[in-house]
Chains A and B, each alone.
Chain A
Amino acid sequence: MGSRRRRSSSWIFVGFSVLLLVLPSGLSQKSRLTALAGFLPVQSLSRWTFRFPGSWSTNAGELETLRTQNDFLKDEAGKKDREIRRLSLLLEQAQGMKQSVRDQNFRMLAADVLFPTDSSAWRKSITITLGTRDGAEKGLLVVYNNQVVGRILETGPWTSRVQTVTDPGFRAGAVAVPKTTPAGISFSERHGGVYEGTSGESGQLKWLGGENPVENGAAVLTTEDPLNGVPRGLSLGRVTSVNTGRGAFPKVDVEPLLDFRSLEHVMVLVPPPDFRAAALSGGRP
């Protein structure tokens, strides 16, 4: 009797799970991102409590008042210092990016990282505090300095989920540029491949055509992909091993230069409107 009841309640939950699994991804992701935005006050609270000590005190006596004022001013100075450091970091990122996309008129939106990882062991994503209200859109590239962090996969009103370059679903056109470029082979003449995440610590460069050799330590850079809003020359990582094996194409392991777990700020890259339109019409942007 008990066993039959247990079995029937199991099937109810299985039914609910299947129902959730067939829900459109856009709908379920929005609700999940909205739920995750519930952690935003916790993040703000932790920052506030970091600044809180010293900003208040009792007003018992003039000395006490002066001490309070002193503490308050010290705290204010500390806050300003932290703000200057944060803005310097953002400026540094923006300048680093501008070198890569200076002639393409990309717009950049700064965002804080809410969660630097994904709860699933096999997916790789970060959650950022930039949603549709601030101009985030699905498919936009996210960078730190000139390193690709990933691509926005889903957007909520206040937060967005970014699929990082190590996620098995991340793919981008890429080219391996050796540390010492042989004479006569320029960046644009090198044969491109496809970079893919593996769910591990590194990614792989696949379908790398041509006779140009790939060596350990070579930089892996993006190739221009206007349809997906990817400019040329952003860094995806560094080659850590090359296995030529028996196949037609070498298997190249690529390690990202960034530790996504320690990211605090990122930049969302918004391509100019004519960037994609030019690609669709067949011309250059």
Chain B
Amino acid sequence: MTKYSTGKLLALGALLLACELTVLDRWALKGARPEALLSLACFAALFASDSSQGLLSSWLIGLLKDAGSTGPLGLHALLFLGAGAVVLQIRQILFRESPITQLAVTFIAACWVNLAAALVVSFTVGGIPVGVLVGKTLLSALLTAAVTIPLHFTLVQARWLVR
């Protein structure tokens, strides 16, 4: 069982935010890029020692994402919290050490976060064409799932990173 320190996870989150805004954006495909912070939030929910830690970590990682965004503060915090809460509810029936579980959880969470964020942006800022919305959501979720396997593997193996 992998436990983690919330402070260390947040420090790692700040590093991943800088990566998302620089390196990962350069690897974007058709404007979609892997959401490393969301993957970290899924890790936080899957491996939290108790539900409060999982919720707090997911919420704070979402808030970190909000720091680098033009959108309203608290939007990603709320969406990551929702994803984290669902993962915490179902993790009892999941084999969380399995890469397939991590991949599936992150893919679904990425679809939810991207779709919900796109709808909020559409309503508050301006319409996003349906083609762009669907294509980018799926591609981004796939890329996020792809990033999840090495990220979670590293965090589980190199425990000093987060403990």
A interface, CB within 8 angstroms of B: 2, 5-6, 9-10, 13-14, 16-21, 23, 25, 28-29, 31-32, 35-36, 39, 42, 115-123, 125, 127, 153-154, 161, 163, 167-169, 171, 196-201, 204, 261
Complex Cα distance A230/B70, Å?
Answer: 22
Q: Are A169's CB and B125's CB within 8 A?
A: yes
Q: Which residues of B contact A42 (CB under 8 A)?
A: 18
What residue in chain A is nearest B119 (Cβ atoms)?
Answer: A122
Other than A28-B72, A32-B67, give 12 A-B pairs with Cβ distance below 8 A: A10-B81, A14-B81, A20-B66, A115-B22, A120-B70, A120-B71, A121-B140, A122-B128, A123-B69, A167-B70, A200-B31, A261-B26
Q: Which residues of A contact B74 (CB under 8 A)?
A: 16-21, 23
Grouping DSSP codes into helix (H, G, I), strand (E, B) and loop, the B interface class, with mixed when no group exceeds half, is helix
Q: How far is the CB of B45 from chain A (nearest CB, A)?
A: 12
Q: How far is the CB of B11 from chain A (nearest CB, A)?
A: 13
| Stretch in contact with the other chain, from B52-60, B95-103, B153-161 | B52-60
Q: Are B136's CB and A200's CB within 8 A?
A: yes
Q: Are A168's CB and B122's CB within 8 A?
A: yes
Q: Which residues of B contact A154 (CB under 8 A)?
A: 70
Q: How far is the CB of B144 from chain A (nearest CB, A)?
A: 10
Query: Of B20, B30, B65, B117, which one neighbours A122 at CB under 8 angstroms?
Result: B117
B interface, CB within 8 angstroms of A: 17-18, 20-22, 25-26, 28, 30-33, 35, 37, 51-52, 55-56, 59, 63, 65-78, 81, 85, 88, 114, 117-118, 121-122, 125-129, 132, 136, 140
Query: Of B22, B55, B70, which one neighbours A123 at CB under 8 angstroms?
Result: B70
Query: Of B18, B33, B35, B132, which one neighbours A199 at CB under 8 angstroms?
Result: B132
Q: How far is the CB of B116 from chain A (nearest CB, A)?
A: 10
Q: Which residues of B contact A14 (CB under 8 A)?
A: 78, 81
Q: How far is the CB of B152 from chain A (nearest CB, A)?
A: 21
Q: Are A121's CB and B35's CB within 8 A?
A: yes
Q: Which residues of A contact B88 (CB under 8 A)?
A: 6
Q: Are B68's CB and A119's CB within 8 A?
A: yes
Given contacts A200-B31, A261-B25, contact A32 B73 (CB under 8 A): yes
Q: Are A10's CB and B85's CB within 8 A?
A: yes
Q: Which residues of B contact A115 (CB under 8 A)?
A: 21-22, 68
Q: How far is the CB of B54 from chain A (nearest CB, A)?
A: 9
Given contacts A116-B21, A198-B132, contact A9 B55 (CB under 8 A): yes
Q: Which residues of A contact B121 (CB under 8 A)?
A: 120, 122-123, 168, 199
Complex Cα distance A170/B52, Å?
Answer: 40
- Report which residue of B18, B118, B129, B140 has the largest number of chain A beta carbons within 10 angstroms of its beta carbon: B129
Complex Cα distance A169/B31, Å?
Answer: 17
What residue in chain A is nearest B60 (Cβ atoms)?
Answer: A13
Q: Which residues of B contact A23 (CB under 8 A)?
A: 73-74
Q: How far is the CB of B147 from chain A (nearest CB, A)?
A: 14
Complex Cα distance A187/B71, Å?
Answer: 36
Q: List, sorted by A's number, 24 A–B pairs whose CB atoms are closer than 8 Å.
A: A6-B55, A9-B56, A13-B56, A17-B59, A20-B77, A28-B73, A31-B73, A35-B67, A115-B68, A118-B70, A119-B69, A120-B65, A120-B117, A121-B32, A122-B118, A122-B121, A123-B70, A123-B121, A154-B70, A168-B125, A197-B126, A199-B31, A199-B118, A200-B31
